[in-house]
Amino acid sequence: MKTLPEFDALPPVEGRPQGNTWGFWGADDEIGTLNLLTPDTVQRAAAEVKSGRSASLDFPLDHFGERIGSRRQLEQNVIDYRSLAGMYVYDDELHFNTQSSSQWDGMTHCATQKDGYFYNGLKFEDVLKNRNGRNGTHRWLQRGGIVGRGILLDYPLWRQETAQGLVNAGSSHAITVAELDQMAKHFNVEIQQGDILLLRTGYSAWYNSASPEERIQVIKGEAFIGVEESMASVRWLWNKHIAAVATDAPGFEVCPVPWGDESKVVLHEWILVHFGMPLGELWNLEDLSVLCQQERRWSFFFTSAPLHDRGRPLPVISQQSPSVEIGPPHLQSPQMERNSLQGKVIAVTGGASGIGLGIVQKLIILKAKIAVADVSPQPPELKDVPDLIYTNVDVSSRDQVHAWVEEIVKKFGRLDGMCANAGICPYEGGIVSDELYQRIFAVCVTGVWNCGTEAYWQFKKQGGGGAIVNTSSGAGLRAVKGLAVYSAAKHAVIGLTRTWALDWALEGIRVNSLAPGLTESGMQRATFAQFPDVADRLGSGTPMGRMGKPHELADSVIFLLGDSATYVTGHVLSCDGGSMCGA
């Protein structure tokens, strides 16, 4: 094994501090300390396999529910190929910030804050201007991934076994170099050249047990446990000849990091820029900790296959909390906002069947927090769904709607969107009884009025903003023979929608309406049950030759609720297979 120079004996690099390793592995090197993972090193590491047991080291992509540094969280869009190609196939589209869960910091993540240089002299502006993939994580994969001997230094376990007591991982507690050495000795770990150091600080255990309020407070303050920011830490990492480091905390060093303060030591710069050393953050070291305790050994065979990103030129993304701009605003892709409803609190009336159920099922996929109201019993597919409450509500009763909104706010803390979807469409035929007239208007108009006004007052309490989508009908845009009262009611819904949109626009409240055509829903089936041939005849009469499906109409509602429609209000969106083309 080649003997490496100590930190103070490294050859000097012009314009860089002592200890900088640019050029040490060659002027064109892009993998830094991963050069220590030679075939001999990996072969010796294979001897660590003894029991054959293994542990995964990553958290789910959506594990961390709070934004860290205003970074975008996981957004998922599920593509249903039944409507696209008549196939029972689902595809997933995922959009996430690579820093939002378990990850490796690559060598074009953090540059020197003084002059903007990455490892081995790559300029900050060259990453996007004329980048050819230099310093990308794909270089790690081209050499075979990260494979070697891993060692775990378990800080909370060490403190517990040495009767020191635990520390608060949600605070700026600094782990010293002396403690790193003491942990290695305690766990009988002899640190070897090319080792991959995993440091369990206890942060993820703290996070998993903390309340949402505690998490938010700590994350906003950016106060996290980590290794002390000192030249002693810098020298220790190099002199131990570590190949890579990773931790369960948001950063390897104690936070907040003193970015841009030249009088302070920033370990991120030393690890990533000066050494070219991969740095893992937010790793799941809990199962590994248990496994090491059970076997009473803290070294193991380690493998990692980082994200295979070739670093091709991409549009510049400028993060401005809490919004994200992607190049010029007019070039923003609506796909970036497809799942802007994740975590939003959305209320849906008439959610037990038909279009309403389709809307709820879409919201479940998008991981919204959902409140469903219906006069019918809760359907089986909506039972035991996380972040979903189901309430029997007669929307024609203002008191019941008011109590429902109060229940929503008590459960979820706010309201972000209201889908006033409940309706009835009994076949009228000729003259309608006063009782049926009153019932149709009570549900289809008064119900929308109650839901819209209750949502408005809740939005006002929250400081404005919010989206309302009222379900009207194609019958609200034209006359339909035999449905005089229903058509009049749906015309009224459109009138309410457009007037509310005018009245509430300056308060940031958007109000739109969905105008479905013939749809394969329970309400339509009930309407035409006594005329078996009517549905097929009417459906085949649409330009698309069929009736709509609830999930197709639900997609339109998702659009109107989400951030892709932030400049859309007072609009009536026809979703009818082209039926209105000739109207």
Q: For residue 45, what pLDDT is reported?
A: 95
Q: What is the CATH number of the domain that holds 452?
A: 3.40.50.720
Number of domains in the chain: 2
Summarize the confidence of residues 66-93 as an average pLDDT.
78
pLDDT at 313 over 60: no
On whether the CB atoms of residues 448 and 476 are closer than 8 A, the answer is no
Question: What is the number of other CB atoms lying within 10 angstroms of the CB of residue 359?
Answer: 31
- Tell me how far apart the alpha carbons of residues 6 and 235 are, in angstroms, rounded to a whole number: 8
Asked if residue 298 and residue 403 are part of one domain, the reply reads no
Measured between alpha carbons, how far is 50 from 370 in angstroms, rounded to an integer?
Answer: 49
Percentage of the chain surpassing pLDDT 90?
A: 60
Which residues on neighbouring strands pair with residue 192, listed in sequence order? none
- Tell whether the model's pLDDT for residue 325 goes beyond 50: no
Q: How many CA atoms lie within 13 A of 297 on its CB side?
A: 12
Q: Which of 304, 337, 360 is the last residue of a domain?
A: 304
CA 551 to chain centre: 23
b/e for 367-387, b at 16 or more Cβ within 10 A? bbbbbbbbeeebeeebeebee
pLDDT value of residue 446: 96
**CA 275 to chain centroid:** 32
Could you tell me if 300 and 434 lie in one domain? no
Indicate whether 194 pLDDT > 50: yes
Within a domain: 479: yes
- For residue 173, being part of any structural domain is answered with yes
Are 278 and 397 members of one domain?
no
Both structure tokens of 209? 């047990």
pLDDT at 315: 43
Same domain assignment for residues 288 and 159: yes
Find the mean pLDDT for residues 418-426: 89
CATH number at residue 226: 3.50.30
**83 — phi, psi (to 5°)?**
-80, -25
**Mean predicted confidence (pLDDT) in 185-194:** 96
Least confident of 143-157, 514-528, 543-557: 514-528
Last residue of a domain, one of 255, 277, 304: 304
In a domain, 533, yes or no: yes
Q: How confident is the model at residue 429, as a pLDDT? A: 60
In the predicted model, what is the mean pLDDT of residues 322-332? 30
pLDDT value for 3: 79
pLDDT beyond 80 at 56: yes
pLDDT given at position 66: 73
| pLDDT of 332 over the 60 cut | no
d(CA 179, CA 235): 15
Question: What span, in angstroms and rounded, lies between the C-alpha atoms of 42 and 45?
Answer: 5
At 524 the pLDDT is: 52
181: part of which helix (H) or strand (E)?
A: helix 177-186
- E-strand ranges in 375-461 read 388-392, 417-420
355 and 479 co-located in one domain: yes
- Compute the mean pLDDT over every residue in the chain, rounded to the nearest whole number: 86
Same domain, 375 and 480: yes
Q: Is the pLDDT of residue 399 over 80?
A: yes
Q: Which structural domain range is residue 299 located in?
A: 21-59+102-304
Q: Are residues 114 and 224 in the same domain?
A: yes
* Domain match, 483 and 555 both: yes
Residue 155 lies in a domain: yes
Closest to 351 (Cα-Cα) out of 495, 469, 488, 473 = 469
Render the burial of 69-80: b for 16+ CB within 10 Å, e for the rest. eeebbbbbeeeb
* Lowest-confidence segment of 131-135, 190-194, 407-411 by average pLDDT: 131-135
**Centroid of chain to Cα 373:** 27
Among residues 223, 284, 217, the alpha carbon closest in space to that of 254 is found at 223
Inside any domain, residue 536: yes
Of 100-104, 119-123, 320-324, where does mean pLDDT reach its minimum?
A: 320-324
Q: Name the burial class of residue 415, with classes exposed (0-12), middle (13-18) and buried (19+) by CB atoms within 10 angstroms of its CB.
A: buried
Rounded CA-CA distance 194/146 in Å is 11
H-state helical runs in 276-366 = 286-295, 354-365
Residue 57 pLDDT:
95
| pLDDT of residue 556 exceeding 50 | yes
The answer to whether position 385 is within a domain reads yes
- Per-residue model confidence (pLDDT) at position 285: 95
| Residue 426, pLDDT above cutoff 80 | no
Report residue 128's pLDDT band, with 50, 70 and 90 as the boundaries: confident
Q: How far is CA 28 from CA 97, 181, 231, 242, 308, in A?
A: 29, 34, 27, 21, 20
Q: Is residue 69 part of a domain?
A: no
The distance in angstroms from the start CA to the end CA of the chain is 82
Q: Do 46 and 144 have their domain in common? A: yes
- Say what percent of the chain tops pLDDT 70: 88
> Catalytic: which of 117, 203, 456, 486?
486
- Same-domain check for residues 426 and 568: yes
Q: Confirm whether pTM is higher than 0.75.
A: no
Residue 486: active-site member = yes
Confidence of residue 418 (pLDDT cuts 50, 70, 90): very high
Per-residue pLDDT reduced to its tens digit, 217-246: 888 778 899 999 999 999 999 999 999 999
Query: How many helices, marked H, and strands, marked E, lie in the chain?
Result: 19, 19
- Residue 537 pLDDT exceeds 60: no
Residues in CB range of 327: below 8 A, 6 or more apart = 315, 316
Contact 418, 469 (CB under 8 A): yes
Whole-Å CA distances, 575 to 26, 472, 516, 544, 578: 62, 11, 5, 11, 8
Last residue of a domain, one of 244, 271, 304: 304
Which of 62-76, 106-120, 177-191, 513-527 bottoms out in mean pLDDT, i.e. has the lowest?
513-527
Q: In this structure, which amino acid lies at residue 419?
A: C
Residue 581 counted as domain residue = no
Q: How confident is the model at residue 575 (pLDDT cuts 50, 70, 90)?
A: confident
Closest by CA position to 454, among listed 409, 387, 505: 409
C-alpha distances out from residue 16 to 21, 350, 437, 486, Å: 9, 66, 83, 77
Residue 310 main-chain phi, psi, to 5 deg:
-80, 0
Whether residue 324 is predicted with pLDDT greater than 70 in this model: the reply is no
Q: Which tens digits make up the pLDDT trace of 343-389? A: 999 999 999 988 999 999 999 988 899 999 999 999 988 988 999 99
The pLDDT tens digits of the residues spanning 445-476 come to 999 999 999 999 999 999 889 999 999 988 88
CB-based contact 449:422 (threshold 8 Å): no
Question: Among 354, 353, 390, which residue's Cα sits nearest to residue 371?
Answer: 390
Which of 186-195, 262-271, 333-342, 430-439 has the highest mean predicted lDDT (pLDDT)? 186-195
Question: With bands split at pLDDT 50, 70 and 90, how would you rate the model's confidence at 87?
Answer: confident
If asked whether residues 387 and 271 sit together in one domain, one would say no
Q: Are the beta carbons of 200 and 248 closer than 8 angstroms?
A: yes
Instruction: Say yes or no: 377 and 255 in one domain.
Output: no
Question: What HEC string does 185-238 produce?
Answer: HHCCCCCCCCCEEEEECCHHHHHHHCCHHHHHHHHHHCCECEECCCHHHHHHHH
* pLDDT score for 521: 64
